[in-house]
Amino acid sequence: MATSTTRVANCSRALCAMLDEWQIMNRLFGVLDMWKASRDLITRISTERSAGKPIKKLDIGIQASQILCLTSFHVSEAIGFLSSKGILKRSAESEERLTFLAIRSWAAFTMIEIGRLSLEWMNTMRDKEKLATKTWKAKWKSDMLQNLAWASVATHWKSPIINSTDLIVLLSLLLGAIAYLSNGKLRKLFFPKPTTSEESTASKEDSLRSISHICNNTGKNCIIFYGSQTGTAENYAQKLAREASSRYGLDPMVADLEEYDYNDLSELSEQVVLMFVLATYGEGEPTDNAQDFYTYITGGEDGEQPDVDLQNVKYVAFGLGNSTYEHYNAMVRRVSKALDGLGAKNLAGVGEADDAAGTTEEDFLAWKQDMWPKLVQEFGLKERDVAYESTFGVLERDDLDASSPGVFLGEANAKHLDTSSANRQFSNTNPYIASITESREVFTSKDRNCIHMEIDLGDSGLSYETGDHVAIWPTNSEDQVTQLLNILGLSEKKDTVISIVSREATAKSPVPTPTTYATALRYYLEIAGPVSREFINVIAAFAPTDAAKAEAAKLGSDKVYFHEKISQKCLSLARVLSTLSGDQPWTKLPFSAIVEGLSKLQLRYYSISSSSHVQPSTVSITAAVESAEIQGRPDVFKGVATNYLLSLKQAQNQESQPRKYQLNGPREKYTGFKAPIHLRKSNFKLPKDSSRPVIMIGPGTGVAPFRGFVQERAALKKEGKSVAKSLLLFGCRRRDEDYLYESEWREHKNTLGDSFDIHVAFSRETKQKVYVQHLIKTHAEEVMDLIDNGAIVYVCGDAKHMARDVNSTLISIWADQRSISIESAAEKVKGLRDSARYQEDIW
């Protein structure tokens, strides 16, 4: 033991002697260090002054303080070194003071640096994107650990109090403590280990999310970002990509905003163009997949935009909105403003589509017509006339059949295909297969239907709040599927398995693959939706007759003619093809064109008509079945989702089913009356304080969420809670036809007493039609008194007419009741909106 100790001590003394010989080099590097730091400081000050930039006094002060500390340290060290060599004569006491001055100087330098890094961290806490960047975090931690590690090692310990052995022991203890506290990171700092496969995978995933990295490595020069809630914006993004490639020779990529990083946009080449196709959701909000991007680029609620320079970024933008909403196309407007504020260049203004006017497709075509020539000029593109070029290839699979386990037969995703794994995270991309516990008709009219349905959340783990929405994943009717298969000449191949293969690495098929022809049309594509004029242009080349080709070309080029013959009649694709060809099959039309030309089958959202306080594990919906006769259309127009729900209700109640659906679902998974659903949060909520009054305005099925509201307040009343006045203004046609939940309102009146009133406008029972806005005028004094007492106004239903009329009427009665101008009353109503006391759930 003694021998080992002596050996360690001798080694330690030899190490210290060797360190002494290094002091000459240490002194030389110290002088160079001070000279470089001083030069950098002077250069920085002169550069900022010449550029007219304000000098950052705090940064300059920190840098100057560190230079002073380094100077003090190296001067003390140099004097101590010369004394140790006998060149300078110093007393032991003065040498000790000088040594501790060197230690304190280095400690002060280190503490200032650690303080600077800490300040940088705190400032970055407000920048979530930068904080989430692994590169920045790694650099910050490396700087911090280097300061901790080298603070003691770099100091020249030369004191009569501390000998060489003590020095080695102290240094070992200090480094050991730092290594322990750094959780192994110190060892990685000095001895970096080889990159593991997991780390390599993470790094690869980061690069796959980086737009600039993708562009640099793949040659992509047109990135089309989309923000989509229902799939419409995504569909338009795909259309832009196809045209960018085939007509203008660009190399495009369609990008879901939530799947890529956008904090490196400043690194993009100026030869890259960004395209944004952005839908506005709700009250001027971004769609779910665009939320993070919106917060980053605009600064969100704080309004603090990222500190980036986007002068090299060139972009165009198109928005999808509805002019009946107050915040019409707010998303694309705000994003464009934010991009411009960061220096980005908008090449073609901002295009806006108005769903309220029914002109979304024409607005898109008009925007493109103006946008493309500007991109041609900016990037020197050459327009070319080209035939149809498919983004996807459709391969028929002889090695698979419809019974093969890996074939999609209507499943939403691979999680539903693999029944062996747990599937618990339900969302707008992964539905829960819910049981329909009850369904009934709530209209008494012979020619109109309205379905009340109870949906059991079971063991899904899903929860909701009163006022939220539920999404139904519908199925296309069998007659629509059969019609389209027949006109495409695919009836005999309906169960043939196909693989849809992307010809572009970044293009995603809207249809899960492999699947069958019939399945793609039944579960995945919007085959009953409107056909676009642009799509007619695409398919014209594949017409079975010259006459059909000529007619298709005319429809594609003449928007007035197209509106008259196709769009105003709401004709489906099958009906359009049959009309053009006289029922002759379009056997030359590739199925890939159908996949690309039709939108994905969209989810349908419904206001939940129950209270989570009363029935937390079951949600109710109230849905009017869409069915209308349209002039010039040979058959009755039927809504997709509501007629699917009607068929479910008819089957559950053992009624006749004129319209057939595959109600048992893929592989019989919906047997027992089930349907795929998911829940969506809403801001349309009762006040948490039940002693606050509410005014509810909702005609027809717009009363759905208010059923839940009144249910909840009645339950709270029974529990002994204080409940304020709830005023419901409801409208329908006739008392004996469509007075929804009449008996329930009577029961709630008995429970709530004076705390609840309902006034009903029956529009067809008198010569003069009466609507909910007339009820507002009739009960103007009561409405205004409730508003004066803090009431929240809720409006649910039709956005195009009813919601606007209610807003105008409220302004009118405010002016009359309070004797103020219309302009002042409009400001009062706007104040209600701004303070969340005027809420809308409209469509």
Is there a binding annotation on residue 524? no
150 as an active site residue: the answer is: no
Q: Which two tokens stand for residue 169?
A: 């022991």
* Residue 276 CB-density burial (10 A; 0-12 exposed, 13-18 middle, 19+ buried): buried
Angle, helix 92-124 to helix 134-153, in steps of 10 degrees: 170
Is there a binding annotation on residue 282? yes
Is there a binding annotation on residue 279? yes
Is there a binding annotation on residue 482? no
DSSP label at 527? T
Catalytic residue among 581, 599, 796, 798: 796
Measured in whole angstroms, how far is the alpha carbon of residue 794 from the centre of its chain? 26
Least Cα distance to 230 among 471, 412, 410 occurs for 471
354 as an active site residue: the answer is: no
Is there a binding annotation on residue 560? no
Least Cα distance to 614 among 726, 717, 460, 745 occurs for 717
Is there a binding annotation on residue 471? no
* Residue 459 CB-density burial (10 A; 0-12 exposed, 13-18 middle, 19+ buried): exposed
Is there a binding annotation on residue 386? no
Is there a binding annotation on residue 3? no
Is there a binding annotation on residue 218? no
Neighbours of 751 (CB within 10 A): 15
Measured in whole angstroms, how far is the alpha carbon of residue 715 from the centre of its chain? 36
Contact call for residues 651 and 657 (beta carbons, < 8 A)? yes
Is there a binding annotation on residue 770? yes
Is there a binding annotation on residue 403? no
Is there a binding annotation on residue 624? yes
Is there a binding annotation on residue 328? yes
Torsion angle of C-alpha atoms 67, 70, 75, 76, degrees rounded to 10: 140
200 as an active site residue: the answer is: no
Is there a binding annotation on residue 763? yes
> What region does 498 belong to: left with phi over 0, alpha with psi -120 to 50, or beta?
beta
Is there a binding annotation on residue 805? yes
Is there a binding annotation on residue 843? yes
Phi, then psi, of 736 in degrees rounded to 5: -90, 10
Catalytic residue among 121, 136, 140, 843: 843
Handedness of CA 605, 609, 612, 617 (dihedral sign): negative
Is there a binding annotation on residue 607? yes
Contact call for residues 141 and 183 (beta carbons, < 8 A)? no
Least Cα distance to 528 among 606, 623, 409, 626 occurs for 626
Q: Where are the beta strands (DSSP E) in 207-290?
A: 222-227, 252-256, 273-281, 285-286
H runs (alpha helix) in 420-572: 478-487, 517-519, 533-539, 546-557, 559-565
Helix (H, G, I), strand (E, B) or coil at 624: strand
| Contacts with 166 (C-beta within 8 Å, 6 or more apart), sequence order | none
Helix (H, G, I), strand (E, B) or coil at 156: coil
Contact call for residues 420 and 530 (beta carbons, < 8 A)? no
Least Cα distance to 208 among 506, 445, 588 occurs for 506
Alpha-carbon span 225 to 275, nearest angstrom: 6
Is there a binding annotation on residue 523? no
- For the residues of 305-359, what is the DSSP string, one character each? --S---TT-EEEEEEEE-TTSTTTTHHHHHHHHHHHHTT-EEEEEEEEEEGGGT-
Buried b (16+ CB within 10 A) or exposed e, 88-124: eeeeeeebbebbebbbebbebbbebbeebeeeeeeeb
Is there a binding annotation on residue 216? no
Helix (H, G, I), strand (E, B) or coil at 264: coil
Catalytic residue among 261, 288, 738, 841: 841
Is there a binding annotation on residue 780? no
166 as an active site residue: the answer is: no
Angle, helix 802-818 to helix 780-788, in steps of 10 degrees: 80
Catalytic residue among 592, 607, 620, 690: 607
Contact call for residues 748 and 754 (beta carbons, < 8 A)? no
Is there a binding annotation on residue 567? no
Catalytic residues: 607, 796, 841, 843
Residues at the binding site for FMN are 228-233, 279-282, 320-329, 355
Residues at the binding site for FAD are 604-607, 622-624, 639-642, 843
Residues at the binding site for NADP(+) are 448, 701, 763-764, 769-773, 805
